[in-house]
């Protein structure tokens, strides 16, 4: 069986026969995920690549394989397997043993193990942990992909001191900056990069390209950053029904695997969609959807957050910049595409554009910072632990926010098309085009 997953064993040129790689190569819209540069390829390494399903983790692995082949790694030292075909850790051990016997015959002492969707075999971690402790991987590199169900179940925590040079890598949907790189590479080459929000004034250099970036941002609000939706919007001008069905199947599958009720999940998501981005408490949602307990609501919201669907913003005390967990929370979807997907699932109108834009800002900032919000008569939509606030005003003729409270000394207003230097206000899409996440 293992030969079927590894056509390059016949010769490195046979990577072209791999279905995932050939689809990527033949696609008119394609890109190389930046995560490929973050994976440790130095033995011994145990790398975990997390992210929502259908975000491109399998394609990432096939591009890693192509990179290794181009670097003249022995093709038979590269072992890939789809673990969703395996039922439990015993079957996983059988597959690993089969390859280890094969490489022994071939005289291979160091290998690259790429184990895709590792969370499917029951108790998968028992096999990996045992073989690490036995020294079977001491000259190898392991790259394991999966969803955050690894963390939901506490499985990754079973590997303390067993990671070597390995890293944890999170694959998010494309950020707006990455979307611009795919959709308009020439424009992307002109965009300055900021790695920290304190550099935000650099974004003012993009003013001459404001109209082009606005048009791309509107496209991004329709497609988000999930690969299939991005390809649809750039090739066909709209997201296909097949793409919606594919991603909805991912959500339903994860709910079933973790013993959650689809009906309860749908009611909670519908309540969140109706309130985003206003602060809300678990008790309020519990009463609205009639699930009986705020603990039930919390468990579902936690599931969705750890499955890369939602991002929860806590209220930040402005005097300490610490979260107050007793206060109501802001709940954002982590990608614009999910607003369209879940609105269709719940048979309701999607939230207005201005609400989606606030979520895009919050979810982008949350990739790099601990973020919260503040509200007390006035409001700051997103606050970082460093005391930098962001207020989103997605409307014409916006005025910059002049609120200063506690340790929140610097507030940037992100507008639809207006500018100001004191206090700073720039269009949201100029900031996001520069923000490197």
For residues 109 and 184, membership in a common domain is answered with no
Residue 250, pLDDT score: 84
Indicate the pLDDT class of residue 157, thresholds 50, 70 and 90: low
Instruction: Give the pLDDT confidence score for residue 259 in this predicted structure.
Output: 87
Q: Could you tell me what percent of the chain has a pLDDT over 70?
A: 97
Q: Determine the average pLDDT of the residues in 300-328.
A: 94
Q: Report the pLDDT value the prediction gives residue 155, as an integer from 0 to 100.
A: 65
Residues 129 and 202 in one domain: no
282/279 Cα distance (integer angstroms): 10
**114 and 183, same structural domain?**
no
Give me the number of domains the chain comprises: 2
For residue 148, pLDDT beyond 90: no
Least confident segment among 28-42, 144-158, 244-258, 366-380? 144-158
State the pLDDT confidence band at 283, using cuts at 50, 70 and 90.
very high
pLDDT greater than 90 at residue 77: yes
Residue 360 has pLDDT above 90, yes or no: yes
Q: Which two tokens stand for residue 180?
A: 């611009």
Q: For residue 109, give the nearest of 74, 80, 134, 133 by alpha carbon.
A: 74
Rounded Cα–Cα distance for residues 60 and 188 (Å): 22
Residues 183, 165 within the same domain: no
Q: Domain boundary at 130, 148, 170, which?
A: 170
Whether residue 156 sits in one domain with residue 199 = no
pLDDT of 152 > 60? The answer is: no
Q: Which residues constitute the domain of residue 196?
A: 176-434
Please list, residue by residue across 335-365, b when 16 or more beta carbons sit within 10 angstroms of its beta carbon and e when fewer do: bbbbbbbbbebbeeebbeeebbbbbbbbbbb
Tokens 């790695």 belong to which residue? 195
pLDDT value at position 190?
94
Quote the mean pLDDT of the chain.
93
Average pLDDT score over residue span 389-405: 93
pTM beyond 0.75, yes or no: yes
Judge if 133 and 209 occupy the same domain. Answer: no
The answer to whether residue 314 scores a pLDDT higher than 70 is yes
| Residue 43 DSSP label | S
Task: Evaluate the omega torsion of the peptide bond into residue 72 and state whether it is cis, within 30 degrees of 0.
Answer: no
CATH number for the domain spanning 114: value is: 3.40.50.300
The residue out of 117, 150, 170 marking a domain boundary is 170
Instruction: Identify which has the larger pLDDT, 266 or 156.
Output: 266
pLDDT tens-place string over residues 197-227: 989 999 999 999 999 999 999 999 999 999 9
Pair (180, 80) in one structural domain: no
Give the pLDDT score at 119: 86
318 shares a domain with 361: yes
- The answer on 155 and 52 residing in a single domain is yes
Report the percent of the chain where pLDDT is more than 90. Answer: 85
């Amino acid at each position: 069986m293992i030969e079927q997953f590894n056509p390059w064993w016949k010769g490195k040129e046979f990577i072209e026969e791999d279905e995932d790689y050939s689809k990527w190569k033949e696609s008119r819209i394609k890109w190389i995920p930046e995560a490929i540069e973050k994976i440790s390829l130095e033995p011994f390494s145990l790398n975990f690549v997390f992210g929502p399903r259908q975000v491109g983790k399998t394609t990432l692995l096939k591009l890693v394989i192509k990179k290794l082949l181009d670097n003249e790694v022995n093709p038979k030292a590269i072992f890939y397997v789809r673990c969703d075909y395996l039922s439990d850790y015993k079957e996983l051990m059988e597959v690993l043993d089969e390859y280890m016997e094969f490489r022994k015959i071939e005289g291979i002492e160091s290998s690259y193990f790429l184990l895709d969707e590792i969370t499917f075999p029951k108790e998968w971690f028992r096999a990996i942990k045992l073989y690490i402790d036995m020294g079977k991987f001491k000259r190898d590199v392991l790259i394991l992909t999966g969803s955050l169900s690894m963390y939901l179940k506490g499985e990754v925590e079973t590997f303390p001191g067993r990671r070597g040079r390995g890293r944890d890598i999170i694959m998010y949907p494309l950020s707006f900056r990455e979307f611009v790189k795919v959709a308009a590479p020439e424009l992307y080459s002109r965009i300055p990069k900021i790695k920290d929000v304190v550099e935000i004034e650099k974004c003012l250099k993009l003013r001459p390209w404001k109209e082009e970036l606005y048009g791309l941002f509107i496209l991004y609000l329709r497609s988000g950053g999930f690969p299939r939706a991005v390809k649809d919007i750039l090739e066909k001008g709209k997201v296909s029904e097949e793409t919606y069905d594919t991603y909805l199947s991912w959500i339903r599958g994860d709910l079933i695997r973790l013993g959650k009720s689809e009906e309860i999940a749908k009611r909670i998501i519908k309540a969140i969609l109706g309130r985003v981005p206003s602060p809300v408490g678990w008790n309020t949602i519990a009463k609205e959807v009639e699930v009986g307990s705020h603990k039930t609501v919390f468990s579902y919201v936690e599931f969705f957050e750890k499955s890369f669907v939602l991002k929860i913003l806590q209220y930040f005390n402005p005097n300490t910049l610490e979260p107050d967990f007793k206060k109501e929370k802001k709940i954002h979807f982590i990608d614009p595409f999910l607003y369209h997907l879940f609105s269709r699932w719940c048979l309701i109108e999607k939230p207005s554009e201005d609400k989606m834009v606030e979520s895009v800002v919050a979810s982008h900032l949350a990739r790099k910072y601990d973020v919260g919000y503040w509200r007390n008569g006035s409001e700051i939509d997103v606050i970082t632990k460093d005391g930098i606030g962001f207020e989103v005003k997605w409307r014409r003729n916006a005025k910059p926010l002049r609120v200063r409270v506690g340790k929140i000394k610097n507030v940037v207003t992100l507008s639809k098309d207006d500018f100001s230097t004191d206090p700073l206000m720039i269009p949201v899409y100029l900031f996001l085009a520069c923000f490197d996440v």
